[in-house]
Structure 1
Amino acid sequence: MIEYFFSQYSGYSTFNITLEIVAIIFGLLSVWFAKKDNILVFPTGLVSTFIYAYLLWQWSLLGDSMINVYYFIMSIYGWYHWTRKKGDVDEFPVSVMTNKEKAMSVVIFILTIIFVIAVYVYFDKFTSWYSYVDTFLTAIFFVGMWLMAKRKIENWIFWIVGDLLSIPLYFAKGYTFTSFQYIIFTIIAVYGYLEWKKILNSSQNLEPHQL
């Protein structure tokens, strides 16, 4: 059983295996803090995404590598966005998407797919089904991260879908530790949605019909 799950690592350097484990630890911490609506989601996420951007490029998962570069940038933006306050009250609390944000999400999704396809074609990386799944996942996660930075509850739906698709992708590619990480991510994301829903329902900033 152990050999089945981890034999893929026999050809990896100790350095890269260590990096993957460190990235996983900080990634799990980041998702846990996100579930708690805690601003520490961003500094822990910065560490994880920086490492994964490097590793995923080496693994030829260009879309996922770009996801993590984007995560890194959006984490800086989200960190700033979440710290903004009006007096002692958060200026941007947990909320639902507006119609304008829904339209923007569609635009981000479509443009991301077009961009990633162009990158894969340029580097001639459309060599397996992984590449096509990776393209779709990149778009899902781009929207999810943008919504998280905006503190929109719908971000969790995108994370759940993306995490579920990532589990078999990384296992098939031979990155077992990362595949296991996405199983945990999925579980935390479900609880994250439920916890943010409670925060949203208790917020005095929303009208009853929006809850």
Structure 2
Amino acid sequence: MLDAARAMSGLEAMAVLLGVAYLLLAMRESIWCWYAAFISTSLFLVIFWDVQLLMEAALQVYYLIMAVYGWWHWRSGRNHNQEHDNAAPIRSWHWHQHALAILLIVVAALASGFVLQKTTDAALPYLDSFTTWGSVVTTWMVARKVLENWLYWLVIDSAAIYLYLDRELYLTTGLFALYLVIAVFGYLQWLKHYRHQNA
């Protein structure tokens, strides 16, 4: 049992380090962020399944797919006149796109939270569902290079901190606290690039 716990903490530490690498590389608009995301996600899939965060485990499968899609989208849309090793330029959504995204997250979280509560022994089903569906939408925004993704992450990561503390995933909790800080700098850096590209 002790060996299994040590192995799990080692996996969690590696997943956390790669998670930090992913976000720092994404902030710099480096296509290498998707490689870090793919490996980190594979590790978190095992970890979340082990602690019965079923929606978070399912989310990791989506993240694996989005890591491949994000890599492809950033690479295929590359503009060689841009300063960064990215693909498509940063875009900004209109208020009605944000309203639709938020409505989708809330409805999906309530529906899956209800199903999980009634049919499984999932921990914190509504919060698990909220962070999962919020992450689904926001990861799509990152892959499409939507500026406001960083603001969404501030809300989702704050909720995730409580979720991971409850499951005693302390390294992952620390990662998401760090994510909050990185998200602020990520937003400011992308905003600067967004203004520069549209100048």
TM-score in same-fold range (> 0.5): yes
Choose which of 36, 52, 60 in structure 1 pairs with 2:28.
Answer: 36
Q: Give 1:174's aligned amino acid.
A: E
Q: Relative to 1, partners in 2 of residues 1:12 and 1:161: Cα closer, same or farther, differing over 3 Å?
A: farther
Paired position in structure 2 for 1:131: 125
Where structure 1 has 5 or more consecutive residues not aligned to the other structure, the ranges are 1-8, 207-211
Instruction: Name the CA distance, whole Å, in 2 between partners of 1:87 and 1:171.
Output: 42
Q: Give 1:13's aligned amino acid.
A: A
Aligned positions of 1:65-76 closer than 5 A: 65-76=57-68
Q: Give 1:105's aligned amino acid.
A: A
Tell me which structure has the larger Cα radius of gyration. Answer: 1
Give the RMSD, CA atoms, in angstroms.
2.5
2:56 pairs with 1:60: no
Question: How far 1:53 sits from its partner (Å)?
Answer: 1.2
Question: How far 1:164 sits from its partner (Å)?
Answer: 1.2
Where structure 2 has 5 or more consecutive residues not aligned to the other structure, the ranges are none
Instruction: Name the CA distance, whole Å, in 2 between partners of 1:200 and 1:28.
Output: 23
Paired position in structure 2 for 1:144: 138
Q: Relative to 1, partners in 2 of residues 1:61 and 1:11: Cα closer, same or farther, differing over 3 Å?
A: farther
Question: How far 1:106 sits from its partner (Å)?
Answer: 4.4
TM-score, normalization by structure 2 = 0.86
Instruction: Name the CA distance, whole Å, in 2 between partners of 1:104 and 1:92.
Output: 23
Aligned positions of 1:22-171 closer than 5 A: 22-85=14-77, 88-89=80-81, 92-98=88-94, 101-102=97-98, 105-106=101-102, 108-110=104-106, 112-113=108-109, 116-117=112-113, 120-121=116-117, 123-125=119-121, 130-171=124-165
Q: Relative to 1, partners in 2 of residues 1:66 and 1:118: Cα closer, same or farther, differing over 3 Å?
A: farther
**1:13 counterpart SS class:** helix
Aligned length: 195
Paired position in structure 2 for 1:3: none
| 64-73 or 147-156, larger mean C-alpha shift | 64-73
Question: How far 1:68 sits from its partner (Å)?
Answer: 1.5
Q: Relative to 1, partners in 2 of residues 1:135 and 1:186: Cα closer, same or farther, differing over 3 Å?
A: same
| % same residue | 25
- Is contact 2:142–2:149 with CA below 8 Å preserved after alignment? yes
- Is contact 1:113–1:135 with CA below 8 Å preserved after alignment? yes
Q: Relative to 1, partners in 2 of residues 1:149 and 1:173: Cα closer, same or farther, differing over 3 Å?
A: same
- Is contact 1:108–1:142 with CA below 8 Å preserved after alignment? no
Paired position in structure 2 for 1:191: 185
Runs of 4+ deviating beyond 4 Å: 9-12, 98-101
Question: How far 1:168 sits from its partner (Å)?
Answer: 2.2
Question: How far 1:10 sits from its partner (Å)?
Answer: 6.6
Post-superposition Cα deviations, 1:25-80, rounded to whole Å, max 9, x if no partner, equal: 10000011111111111110000111111110111101111221111111111111
Question: How far 1:117 sits from its partner (Å)?
Answer: 3.0
